[in-house]
Amino acid sequence: MSELKNDRLLRALLRQPVDTTPVWMMRQAGRYLPEYRETRKKAGDFLSLCKNPELACEVTLQPLARYPLDAAILFSDILTIPDAMGLGLYFGEGEGPRFERPVRRAADVEALGVPDPEMDLRYVMDAVRVIRRELNGRVPLIGFSGSPWTLATYMVEGGGTKNFARSKGLLFDQPEIMHALLAKLADAVTRYLNAQVAAGAQALMIFDTWGGVLTPHDYDAFSLAYMRRIVEGLTKEADGRRVPVILFTKGGAQWLGRMADSGCDALGVDWTITLADARRQVDDRVALQGNMDPCLLYASEARIREEVARILESYGKGPGHVFNLGHGIHPDIDPSRPAAMVDAVHELGRAYHD
Amino acid sequence: MSELKNDRLLRALLRQPVDTTPVWMMRQAGRYLPEYRETRKKAGDFLSLCKNPELACEVTLQPLARYPLDAAILFSDILTIPDAMGLGLYFGEGEGPRFERPVRRAADVEALGVPDPEMDLRYVMDAVRVIRRELNGRVPLIGFSGSPWTLATYMVEGGGTKNFARSKGLLFDQPEIMHALLAKLADAVTRYLNAQVAAGAQALMIFDTWGGVLTPHDYDAFSLAYMRRIVEGLTKEADGRRVPVILFTKGGAQWLGRMADSGCDALGVDWTITLADARRQVDDRVALQGNMDPCLLYASEARIREEVARILESYGKGPGHVFNLGHGIHPDIDPSRPAAMVDAVHELGRAYHD
């Protein structure tokens, strides 16, 4: 493996000194880039793109060619695990993800196998290997997975949902079935992430997209507990370096203190809390990643720069901040705007590091 | 006016002693009730139902016939004000609300007039009068409005939105235009709510549905500041009683402390925070309304009762709690379920009051 030339991200996630604040964007390989839309057309559809390691590598690298980002993130979908479990993932025209065979009863959960990543999700591992090779040490590669609770909502609902009727119905009325499903998913996610590390991922992120729709009590029991279990089971080192783990619960700003005790290295933070408040909540036990409102990228470059300055100042001096959006970049953003953000972070960030 | 027979709600909102915890449900007059769907069919469509005072009264009273609720809430839409400003509200088939003439530029804002409620929104005032007469003092009537920021998002986007591209774009890049719009809306909402009180509303609620999508800084400047201005301008008494005001920012659980300083009497609280924590945040300066996850109504009656007990215990002893869902009731809820919730609140609530 070639040596890592830019390790700002890995250092910042471990709260080690850096020259300036590192920056990347959630969903940085995505529809806002015309070159992404071209590659996706070539692939046919979204799932075919995910399942083609060469094309997945191509789109993973596209944003790096445009902006001096400090990380690449594996291009994939959060629903690869349930797909590999046999639920039959598909995307209808203009629809979100759907499953042909949702999970509803105890027998459905019992019937689920835990995928062997190198067998059942080989296309993901191959993508990691190809990307890592093509990156050639330029920046670290982040691997990822959906959280057990987030995967479970899609599996029980049979797709996306607004009301969480079936998934919360199951959680409230038959919590033992939900726990059995989550335990199996925690096992699957652990193996999946460890296989990504073995294939070359240098940092890991768990996306808990739907943890924020729970009560504090249910969040602890049905989402955070299983993320903690995963973190405990993860490979701690690769290539002689620690592999940092980031947890991100969308809408979880008020639970950062509890999340910081999960054993993870960093927390993703959306824009509904200032980084100063977030840092007080976690008391420097973990690094923080965030937290610009992605809608700022609709604004002028001057306004973007102003917001970058505000966020850097809110986190303040010292290591442990990875600049990012508080959510994925919107598909209708003008590709000229992220450049203003990335440049401002690198330039203004220097003042916060010795 | 006939004397109020059940004043639990008004007393609880003012933190005065009550015999048991009062309860009502956001969107209690709604699609989950077959009798509502019947009346709506009779009216033709949703807007026609809102604009017909007799039918609006009919649906307002329907949930009271089923459950021993402690309040009625005016049946109306949050977008009546922009409609009266001339934006042309309509609902496409299977779509959310849309405006024919969105507000985008400074000239659009300048052209907006502030509606005279008894002229331009007479159907709402007539509905309040009819409902108040038909209630005949059984329970108090809550009037309401959308918050300026919430109304502004719809007016600028031209309807509902997922990304808030145009409304946040305007806020970030041309804040002076957004402030001009919000100031006009604050004026319009104040007159509208005062007219509702003059027509018979006995408590008021401001729905800040989209305040929670802002950063803490922007929430203060673009949402809370204008709600504070409204609260300052509201009629304080009617029929010799104080008219309590409830603010509800969806997703605003972490800002309750600042909201409590707005001059309002009570805060609506969603389910992402325990009432114990919320009460600590507001330090008994205001009453709290909430906070059951509406998805609990998908669960069994035993589970609903258990959750009611948990929420009552979390708030604890003493006055100042109005039980409610943390969001509107979902349209696919079985109408037998709210009965279990309402009965449990009244029965178990007694233990928390002397």
Each residue's pLDDT tens digit, B109-158: 999 999 999 999 999 999 999 999 999 999 999 999 999 999 999 999 99
> ipTM, 2 decimals?
0.93
Which pLDDT belongs to residue B61? 98
Token pair for A207 = 């996306």
Q: Is B212 on the interface with A (CB under 8 A)?
A: yes
Distance separating the N- and C-terminal Cα atoms of chain B: 30
Residues A350/A312, Cβ–Cβ less than 8 Å? no
Indicate if B138 belongs to the active site: no
**Whole-angstrom distance, CA of residue B233 vs CA of residue A140:** 56
Burial of A220 (0-12, 13-18, 19+ CB in 10 A): middle
**What is the pLDDT tens value at each position of chain A, 354 positions in all?**
678 999 999 999 999 999 999 999 999 999 999 999 999 999 998 999 999 999 999 999 999 999 999 999 999 999 999 999 999 999 877 778 999 999 999 999 999 999 999 999 999 999 999 999 999 999 999 999 999 999 999 999 999 998 999 999 999 999 999 999 999 999 999 999 999 999 999 999 999 999 999 999 999 999 999 999 999 999 999 989 999 999 999 999 989 999 999 999 999 999 999 999 999 999 999 999 999 999 999 999 999 999 999 999 999 999 999 999 999 999 999 999 999 999 999 999 999 998
Distance (Å) from the alpha carbon of B331 to chain A's nearest alpha carbon: 10
Question: Nearest residue on chain B to A302, judged by CA atoms?
Answer: B173
* Contact with chain B for residue A65, Cβ under 8 A: no
- Best interface-test mutation with A: which of B172, B249, B300 has the largest number of A CBs within 10 A? B172
Count CA atoms closer than 13 A to A231's CA, side-chain side.
Answer: 23
Confidence of residue B94 (pLDDT cuts 50, 70, 90): confident
Position B1 pLDDT exceeds 80: no
Backbone phi, then psi, for A18, in 5-degree steps? Answer: -135, 165
Whether chain B has a CB inside 8 Å of the CB on A275: the answer is no
- Tens digits of residue pLDDT in A157-175: 999 998 999 999 999 999 9
What is the tens place of the pLDDT at every residue in A78-96? 999 999 999 999 987 777 8
| Residue of chain A whose Cα is closest to the Cα of B291 | A215
Separation of alpha carbons B277 and B257, rounded Å:
11
DSSP H or E segment with residue B112: none
Residues of A with CB below 8 A from B332's CB?
A: 163, 165
* B223: DSSP letter: I
Euclidean distance between CA atoms B176 and B105, whole angstroms:
11
pTM of the model: 0.95
For residues A46 and A90, the answer to whether their CB atoms sit within 8 Å is no
Are B273 and A253 in contact (CB < 8 Å)? Answer: no
Residue A16 backbone phi and psi in degrees, to 5: -100, 155
pLDDT at B51 over 80: yes
Q: Are strands B141-146 and B203-208 parallel, antiparallel or unpaired?
A: parallel
Beta carbons within 8 Å of B42's beta carbon, 6+ residues apart: B55
B169 to chain A, closest Cα gap in Å:
5
Q: Which of A66, A77, A123, A258 is catalytic?
A: A77
pLDDT of B92 above 90: no
Mean pLDDT, all residues of chain B: 96
Taking the CA of residue B307 and the nearest CA in chain A, the distance in Å comes to 10
Closest C-alpha to B173, from B106, B111, B113, B249: B106
Q: What is the DSSP letter of A296?
A: G
CA contacts within 13 A on the Cβ side of B351: 13
Confidence of residue B189 (pLDDT cuts 50, 70, 90): very high
Judge whether B175 is closer than 8 Å to chain A, CB to CB.
Answer: no
Contact B329, B338 (CB under 8 A): yes
Angle between helices A165-173 and A148-157 (to 10 degrees): 110
Partners of B139 in the beta sheet?
none
Beta carbons of B167 and B102 less than 8 angstroms apart: no
DSSP B120-133: HTHHHHHHHHHHHH
pLDDT tens digits for B308-329? 999 999 999 999 999 999 999 9
Q: Which residues pair with B238 in a beta bridge?
A: B241
Count CA atoms within 13 Å of residue A139 on its CB side: 21
∠ at Cα A210 (A208, A213), nearest 5°? 135
- To test the contact with chain B by mutation, choose from A171, A295, A308 the residue with the greatest count of B C-beta atoms within 10 A, namely A295
Residue B343 CB coordination number (10 Å): 17
